[in-house]
Structure 1
């Protein structure tokens, strides 16, 4: 895949993450190869930090730094030698922006996780946002904003092999252990989960195995993976994030919700895009069908992570979690 094709493939993911589509076009038009992706996106992130230095108010500076965090995260979507350092820059920028824009937010870290808790002071429930194979807490900021607007607290996290932890840890299939530690650390009575991409598998698995989860939603989450069918780029990323080819194959073989889906007691919303067709990945229809309280939302024009269809699912997902956790009208 050349640089033009790669940029087109990630267009809706990047713009769905909140970067300006015109700037994305300008940056990617300048790529001569996919190898230029990380350095170019990193430079763009630093340009926003420079804008923050010249901003006319703390709020404007915080907004610029938050945009830098998005660009730094997107820079890591192509493996390169500085990816670990750039993930750290994304984490630092997000932390600095949140400190300015949401002074009530709190950092939370523990064994195998780190993230930010953002909440109304009287939130009746907390939603944990779980990222996927190469995503991170810096990617889903629109979702993180939609939940507090409905009165819910939200903890956006990186887990093992994800985001700022990718340089020092590896992905693990038994992610419910990590979610359990997050719930313990948050110390709240009502918990919801939303998982995106591979995070959908993590969230569904945790909902089946931890009875404290009172509501769950998945977006573009796999029901099952078949290592031999997966495209080489996906296998390469999984190999990197799990620590080797053998570990990646074992990990992929564990991603199968057939026996766990019937054990999910919580209300479940499964969101898929009909245009999200990846060889070796079984999408979420079976998860919704097998779960006792599952609902399936399939968006005909939606692609992976449905960055091209935000209005078709984001309000409904947010309302699903709000209704299930608080009893607010759906």
Structure 2
């Protein structure tokens, strides 16, 4: 059987399926169509999208040199998005993917240095790296951690972070083991509460935020990470799982997922073991805090049981189902993102600070 990226005729389907994801990440849909029209096959996906990223990087540098800070920051952020979206497939050139994620991370840092020089700072530690952003004009805000999924990274969720910041919440978006800028040096961690605990330990040293009012949002596989962490990390006050799995059945998973897991985990056996560990059947009922599960009604992946079951089993679980939403609901942001951001803000403001 060919690898996923060598599947005959797969390129147009992959481009179509990832359009909503790219738009949800903040890329212009017309730019996406124009750039991906030049993708010859999936082996060519990373270099073609990286070329688009570097065009925005060059524009950012020109604007920065001319003192146009707002434009430069926006161009750096757009470059970061393109660099990351260039990596979202199980490509055999792992060194190339690692280099592109490093460029995405660096471009995000340059964007924040221009747009939020007094409110953003690097946060990193064992197994994670990301950025803490503080809302303007808010003293000691609560903080929301944002966890990516299997092949996503913090650069994919700037729109989510902006929605939370607009509601007076600080945001710590990070890459964990096997994710984003950390993927080159680590494998995915099913006991993700350990990663969340390390991030919270680091945030305890960051001035101007209230770690006693912390929440976690997880995207895609990160939705499982959010629910798992909600059951085991006592410092969390609320959690949100967006398009997350409840459990996985390896033999039914599509090649995109199994190939990606195998490359991220390092071997087929490690990938199978990881997939078997993604299971909330015994965990969801142990979640003591409010859990919001966000699902798209058209998000159907073989071998993946959605986290809707966790919303029913969790003592304080809620389900937000958007019937026309796809995976990560990039085609329906207005139907879930404002509600989710308000849900988090309301619950964190109701909790007692540290």
**TM-score normalized with structure 2 length:** 0.91
Once the two structures are TM-superposed, the CA of residue 307 in structure 1 deviates from its matched residue by: 0.2
**Which residue of the partner structure matches residue 76 of structure 1?**
87
**Aligned position for 1:265:** 288
Aligned partner of 1:92 among 96, 103, 106:
106
In the alignment, does 2:153 pair up with 1:145? no
In structure 2, what is the Cα distance between the partners aligned to 1:17 and 1:10? 11
Match of 1:185 among 202, 206, 210: 202
* Cα distance in 2 for residues equivalent to 1:197 and 1:312: 17
Q: Write the distance in 2 (CA, Å) between the matches of 1:171 and 1:186.
A: 22
SS of equivalent to 2:245 = coil
CA distance in 1, matches of 2:34, 2:142: 41
- Measured in 1, the distance between the counterparts of 2:289 and 2:10 equals 43
Q: Is the 8 A contact 2:224 2:307 kept in 1?
A: no
Distance in 1 (alpha carbons) for counterparts of 2:336 and 2:128: 27
Determine if contact 1:172/1:242 at 8 Å carries over to the other structure: no
2:130 aligned with 1:119: no
Query: Which stretch shows the higher mean deviation, 313-322 or 114-123?
Result: 114-123
Q: Tell me how far apart the structure 2 counterparts of residues 223 and 196 of structure 1 sit (CA, whole Å).
A: 13
Q: Distance in 2 between the 1:124 and 1:142 partners? A: 19
Q: CA deviation at 1:80?
A: 4.4
Alignment match, 1:36: 44
Q: Distance in 1 between matches of 2:305 and 2:217?
A: 19
How do 1:166-315 residues align onto structure 2 when only pairs under 5 Å count?
166-187=183-204, 188-315=211-338
Match of 1:10 in 2: 18
In structure 1, the gaps of 5 or more residues are none
Q: How far apart, CA to CA, are the structure 1 residues paired with 2:44 and 2:126?
A: 34
CA contact (8 A) 1:274 1:298 kept: yes
Deviations 1:237-272 (A, max 9, x none): 001111111000000001110111111111111000
Q: What do the CA deviations read for 1:170-195 (whole angstroms, capped 9, x no partner)?
A: 10101111101111111121110000
Q: State which of 75, 78, 87 in structure 2 corresponds to 1:64.
A: 75
Alpha-carbon distance between aligned partners in 2 of 1:114 and 1:228, rounded to the nearest angstrom:
33
In 2, Cα distance between the equivalents of 1:86 and 1:181?
A: 26
Q: CA RMSD in A?
A: 1.1
Which residue of the partner structure matches residue 158 of structure 1? 175
Q: Specify the SS of the correspondent of 1:44.
A: helix
C-alpha displacement at 1:106, in angstroms?
A: 0.7
Q: Which moved more, 1:28-37 or 1:84-93?
A: 28-37
> In structure 2, what is the Cα distance between the partners aligned to 1:37 and 1:84?
15
Q: Deviations over 1:54-105 (max 9, x none)?
A: 2250111111011000000000113242111111100110111111111120
The whole-number CA distance in structure 1 between the counterparts of 2:10 and 2:278 is 30
Distance 1:50 1:14 in 2: 21
Maintained 8 Å contact 1:134/1:237: yes
TM-score (norm 1): 0.97
